[in-house]
């Protein structure tokens, strides 16, 4: 293994045996089971992954995709069925908080117990004890049996033990958002501190904003197969296709990567070829005609991620400013309108029209839809064309944003995507006053002499 590699996973496969009866499991473990009385579940299928030292890598995927399984194999909790894992560096893992705690022991005893299980000596734990107690912040309860703790105190202590063991590699499984809001802020601050120190971090999360914010790279798993790896933004966009069952599959067993051309080709095919992205020929040019068309063309993304079942197609999309002129530049503090033109290729009982703003890191900042706004809750017939507009005040900070569009709905209680265009349009917010964060609260500051 190369010196700059922290974790190397080669052809990793994990198969679970699922028994109908507990007795069959016991007999099999003793070698007494006659015949195959179990079903095999392939949790991981020939996964390959390389994580370099100092990288922060996130793993995303639906429930049952193998995310937790791969972390447990890397940390040594589980053994692989096939393949190998090589790790260079001391690991601290936040998998199942509190695993290994003795409920009869008090908090102090459990700190030493857990620390020794991780591989630290009593002297090393003693050096870290004050930092652990300060981080957990549960007061004198630390001297009481753990079985008397509330669930919040329990996870605070467990997290404090794991996070204050100084690791070279930190592995986290959905454990950053524990406790109250103040403790969560402390957890994220510690996470950022580790990242700044150049430690290797591997974590699983359903919080896509955290994946976008912290990760250098993201890995997408689905049903034990590695669908792809790449920038967080790219993998999150594909993950959203996975969630609605509209995504391209790997071409062969063990083939992990999907390239951009395959994704775009599959997305275009899913859109049914009936419309697709708007062309900039003049439709929806607002008051500006040719100038509006040029503004639209310059701001459209040639690599827009596009998919859907084709029941409805977004034929046109653009933004107008307060004067009704088509533009991709909006002055902060002014009104603007997001426009969509949608053609229906078959009857849709209750279509939902939506738009979303993301920053250039892929973090969703804001957005809304017609159902939330209670603006259109009627059926649409095949052949109908609808113009949709959302008008609001621009309060985002000055900078560059990506605008996405969508038409979705529910069919027999199943969420269905008819057409989505991710990161279709670039919008620039022009501002001479930026405050902290993503948007301006429009605060009014008054200073007077104290009496």
Question: For 12-68, how does the pLDDT look when each residue is reduced to its tens digit (9 = 90+)?
Answer: 999 998 888 888 888 888 877 777 878 888 999 999 999 999 999 999 998 889 999
Whether 277 has a pLDDT exceeding 60, the answer reads no
Task: Please give the C-alpha separations between residue 369 and each of 37, 360, 372, 374, 403, in angstroms, as whole numbers.
Answer: 50, 22, 5, 9, 13
Q: Residue 365 corresponds to which tokens in the numbers above?
A: 């900042």
Q: At what angle do helices 107-118 and 151-163 cross, to 10 degrees?
A: 40
Coil, strand or helix at 2: coil
CATH topology identical between 5-237 and 273-430: no
Contact between residue 94 and residue 88 where contact means Cβ atoms under 8 Å apart: no
CATH class label, 273-430: mainly beta
Task: Please give the C-alpha separations between residue 414 and each of 311, 384, 417, in angstroms, as whole numbers.
Answer: 15, 23, 10
In percent, the amount of the chain with pLDDT more than 90 equals: 48
Sheet holding 5-19, edge to edge: 38-52, 5-19, 82-87
- The shares of helix, strand and coil residues in the chain, as percent rounded to the nearest 5, are 25, 35, 40
In percent, the amount of the chain with pLDDT more than 70 equals: 86
Mind listing the pLDDT tens digit for each residue in 352-362? 999 999 998 88
Mind listing the pLDDT tens digit for each residue in 378-430? 899 999 999 999 999 999 999 999 999 999 999 888 899 999 999 999 999 98
* pLDDT the model gives residue 298: 64
Q: Phi/psi at 20 (nearest 5 deg)?
A: -80, -30
Q: Phi/psi at 125 (nearest 5 deg)?
A: -70, -40
Residue 97: pLDDT band (50, 70, 90) is low
Mean model confidence pLDDT for the chain: 84
Which range is least confidently modeled, 98-112, 244-258, 336-350, 400-414? 244-258
Q: Pick left, alpha or beta for residue 283 (phi over 0 → left; psi -120 to 50 → alpha; otherwise beta).
A: beta
Mind listing the pLDDT tens digit for each residue in 278-323? 443 334 445 554 455 555 566 788 888 899 999 999 999 999 999 9
For residue 95, the tally of other CB atoms under 10 A from its CB is 17
d(CA 416, CA 372): 17
Domain map of the chain by residue range?
A: 5-237, 273-430
* pLDDT the model gives residue 345: 96
Whether 257 has a pLDDT exceeding 80, the answer reads no
Give the residue with greater pLDDT, 185 vs 85. Answer: 85
Residue 245: pLDDT band (50, 70, 90) is confident
Q: Residue 315 corresponds to which tokens in the numbers above?
A: 């034929």
Q: Pick left, alpha or beta for residue 431 (phi over 0 → left; psi -120 to 50 → alpha; otherwise beta).
A: beta
d(CA 107, CA 326): 63
Give 5-237's CATH code, choosing from 3.40.50.300, 3.90.1150.10, 2.60.40.10, 3.20.20.140.
3.40.50.300
d(CA 222, CA 208): 16
* pLDDT the model gives residue 176: 63
Give the DSSP per-residue string, 146-178. GGGS-HHHHHHHHHHHHHTS--SEEEEES-SS-
Task: Please give the C-alpha separations between residue 27 and each of 20, 31, 230, in angstroms, as whole numbers.
Answer: 12, 6, 45
Residue whose tokens read 């390239």: 259
Whether 198 has a pLDDT exceeding 60, the answer reads yes
Whether 349 has a pLDDT exceeding 60, the answer reads yes
H-only helix segments in 218-341: 232-243, 260-270, 290-299
* pLDDT the model gives residue 9: 95
* pLDDT the model gives residue 249: 55
For residue 256, the tally of other CB atoms under 10 A from its CB is 18
Q: Residue 50 corresponds to which tokens in the numbers above?
A: 């390389």
Whether 175 has a pLDDT exceeding 50, the answer reads yes
Mind listing the pLDDT tens digit for each residue in 428-450? 998 888 889 899 998 999 999 99
Q: At what angle do helices 151-163 and 181-196 cross, to 10 degrees?
A: 10
pLDDT, mean of residues 121-150: 91
Q: Pick left, alpha or beta for residue 176 (phi over 0 → left; psi -120 to 50 → alpha; otherwise beta).
A: alpha
Which of the residue ranges 3-7, 91-95, 209-213 has the most confident prediction, judged by mean pLDDT?
3-7
Give the DSSP per-residue string, 221-235. EETTEEEEEE-HHHH
* pLDDT the model gives residue 280: 36
């Amino acid at each position: 293994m190369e010196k700059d590699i922290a974790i190397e996973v080669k052809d990793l496969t994990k198969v679970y045996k699922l028994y109908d009866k507990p007795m069959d499991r016991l007999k099999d473990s003793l070698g007494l089971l006659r015949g195959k009385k179990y079903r095999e579940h392939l949790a991981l299928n020939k996964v390959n992954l390389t994580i370099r030292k100092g990288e922060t890598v996130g793993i995303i995927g639906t429930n049952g995709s193998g995310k937790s399984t791969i972390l447990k194999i890397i940390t040594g909790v589980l053994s692989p069925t096939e393949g190998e894992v090589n790790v260079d560096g001391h690991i601290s893992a936040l998998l199942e908080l509190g695993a290994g705690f003795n409920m009869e022991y008090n908090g102090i005893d459990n700190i030493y117990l857990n620390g020794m299980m991780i591989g630290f000596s009593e002297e090393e734990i003693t050096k870290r004890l004050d930092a652990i107690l300060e981080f957990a912040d549960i007061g004198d309860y630390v001297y009481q049996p753990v079985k008397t703790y509330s669930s919040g105190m329990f996870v605070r202590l467990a997290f404090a033990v794991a996070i204050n063991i100084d690791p070279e590699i930190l592995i986290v499984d959905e454990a950053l958002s524990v406790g109250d809001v103040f403790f969560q802020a402390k957890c994220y601050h510690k996470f950022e501190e580790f990242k700044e120190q150049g430690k290797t971090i591997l974590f699983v999360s359903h919080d896509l904003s955290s994946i976008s914010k912290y990760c250098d790279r993201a890995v997408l798993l689905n049903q034990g197969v590695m669908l792809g790896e790449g920038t967080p933004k790219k993998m999150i966009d594909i993950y959203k296709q996975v969630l609605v069952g509209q995504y391209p599959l790997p071409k062969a067993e063990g083939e992990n990567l999907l390239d951009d051309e395959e994704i775009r080709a599959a997305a275009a095919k899913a859109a049914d070829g009936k419309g697709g992205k708007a062309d900039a020929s003049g439709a929806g040019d607002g008051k500006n005609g040719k100038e509006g068309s040029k503004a639209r063309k310059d701001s459209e993304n040639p690599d827009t991620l596009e998919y859907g079942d084709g029941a409805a197609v977004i034929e046109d999309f653009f933004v107008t400013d307060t004067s009704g002129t088509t533009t991709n530049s909006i002055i902060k503090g002014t009104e603007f309108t997001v426009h969509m033109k949608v053609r229906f290729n078959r009857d849709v009982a209750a279509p939902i029209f939506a738009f979303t703003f993301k920053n250039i890191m892929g973090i969703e900042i804001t957005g809304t839809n017609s159902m939330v706004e209670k603006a259109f809750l009627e059926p649409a017939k095949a052949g109908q064309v609808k113009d949709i507009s959302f008008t609001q005040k621009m309060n985002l900070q000055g900078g560059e944003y990506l605008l996405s569009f969508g038409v979705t709905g529910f069919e027999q209680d199943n969420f269905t995507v008819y057409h989505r265009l991710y990161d279709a349009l670039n919008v620039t917010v022009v501002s001479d006053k930026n405050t902290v964060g993503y948007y301006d609260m429009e605060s009014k500051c008054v200073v007077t002499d104290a009496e």
